[in-house]
Chain A
Amino acid sequence: MWVYDKKLEYPINISKTDPKMAQAILTQYGGPNGELAASLRYLSQRYTMPNNMGKALLTDIGTEELAHLEMVATMIYQLTQFADPEDYKEADVSGYYSIWDKGIHPDSAGGVPFTASYINTMGKDTIADLQEDLAAEAKARATYENLLDLTNEPELVGPLSFLREREIVHFQRFGELLDNLEFDKNIRKQYFIKKPRIDSLY
């Protein structure tokens, strides 16, 4: 089971009102490479991991992604808390406002509602799951880099950079888990990219 810890993983304090940037950041809430997809993906895949290192890592990263989901929502909340309808109109995000007001809805930046189609759970094919996870972390990192291209605001650059860094660490840990599973006899029959043997070329 889970318990809630009443604090953010990284402090966020945004004074600027910017509904346009909020709309861009929303994609990490309910978009294809967002934190909700990440958390659900790992927490759903963990049941069929072949060893306890896999079960632990997917549980722990899936849990951390929920803390990231909260950080993303916090940024959206603070960017819009003092906005009036006129600000939404000027920022050209009156479409979102007309449906949800200031509600934080799991959509992509393009307004596509969250769908479980963003995630796969392949059962005994652990390698397929982990390769998806590595790709997901790389895509989430790229998304944070795109968001960082859209702002110079230090109050946003801090948390966005932190979230980008976490994707790099998650990618690293998933890679190490994949390496570890290569030696597991139960999954050795699954497809695996071997380390290149450069020495044998000479």
Chain B
Amino acid sequence: MNKMLDKQELERKIQELTFSAVELNLFLDTHPNDAQALQDYQYVINTLQQLKDLYNQNYGPLLNFGYASVNDNYWNWVSEEEKWPWENV
């Protein structure tokens, strides 16, 4: 990624890749030796992980625990600046 994505662009990309991962996950459940799907899945989860790391470094935690580094002086999970997924205003 040469250009830094803004928060919304990055979130949309993560949503797209997560959806691809969900689709491939279900497909692989019933086609566990499909080589093309396995290759696509590997690509998707690698890229997804990179984007999630980028998001976590720049915009705060996506998971309550897992990937984000922790801020020294505040638990950002409860930060009042952050919107929860169901909030659109």
Q: Which residues of A contact B82 (CB under 8 A)?
A: 52
Interface presence of A1 (CB below 8 A): yes
Place the interface of chain B in its size category: 10 to 19
Interface presence of A60 (CB below 8 A): yes
Interface presence of B39 (CB below 8 A): no
With CB as the reference atom, state the residue of chain A lying closest to B83: A52
With CB as the reference atom, state the residue of chain B lying closest to A54: B78
A77 to B87: give the CA distance in the assembly, Å: 39
Partner of B78, one of A46, A56, A63: A56
Question: Closest 10 CB pairs between A and B?
Answer: A56-B78, A53-B78, A52-B78, A55-B84, A56-B77, A52-B80, A60-B64, A47-B86, A52-B82, A52-B79
Q: Mark B10-35, 1 if CB is under 8 A from A, else 0.
A: 00000000100000000000000000
Closest Cβ–Cβ distance, residue A62 to chain B (whole Å): 12
Q: From residue 45 to 86 of chain B, which have CB atoms closer than 8 A to chain A?
A: 64, 77-80, 82, 84-86
Q: From residue 28 to 76 of chain A, which have CB atoms closer than 8 A to chain B?
A: 46-47, 51-53, 55-57, 59-60, 63
- B residues apposed to A, CB below 8 Å: 18, 64, 77-80, 82, 84-86
- What are 20 A-B contacts defined by CB distance under 8 Å? A1-B18, A1-B85, A46-B84, A47-B86, A51-B80, A52-B78, A52-B79, A52-B80, A52-B82, A52-B84, A53-B78, A55-B84, A56-B64, A56-B77, A56-B78, A57-B78, A59-B64, A59-B84, A60-B64, A63-B64
How many CB-defined contacts (below 8 Å) exist between A and B? 20
Q: Which residues of A contact B78 (CB under 8 A)?
A: 52-53, 56-57
Closest Cβ–Cβ distance, residue B86 to chain A (whole Å): 6
State the interface size on chain A (CB cutoff 8 A): 12
Closest Cβ–Cβ distance, residue B89 to chain A (whole Å): 14
A53 to B74: give the CA distance in the assembly, Å: 12
Closest Cβ–Cβ distance, residue A13 to chain B (whole Å): 25
Apart from A47-B86, A52-B79, A56-B77, 16 more pairs, CB < 8 Å: A1-B18, A1-B85, A46-B84, A52-B78, A52-B80, A52-B82, A52-B84, A53-B78, A55-B84, A56-B64, A56-B78, A57-B78, A59-B64, A59-B84, A60-B64, A63-B64
Q: Which residues of A contact B85 (CB under 8 A)?
A: 1
Q: Which residues of A contact B84 (CB under 8 A)?
A: 46, 52, 55, 59
Closest Cβ–Cβ distance, residue A6 to chain B (whole Å): 13
With CB as the reference atom, state the residue of chain A lying closest to B82: A52
Q: Which residues of B contact A59 (CB under 8 A)?
A: 64, 84
A136 to B30: give the CA distance in the assembly, Å: 40
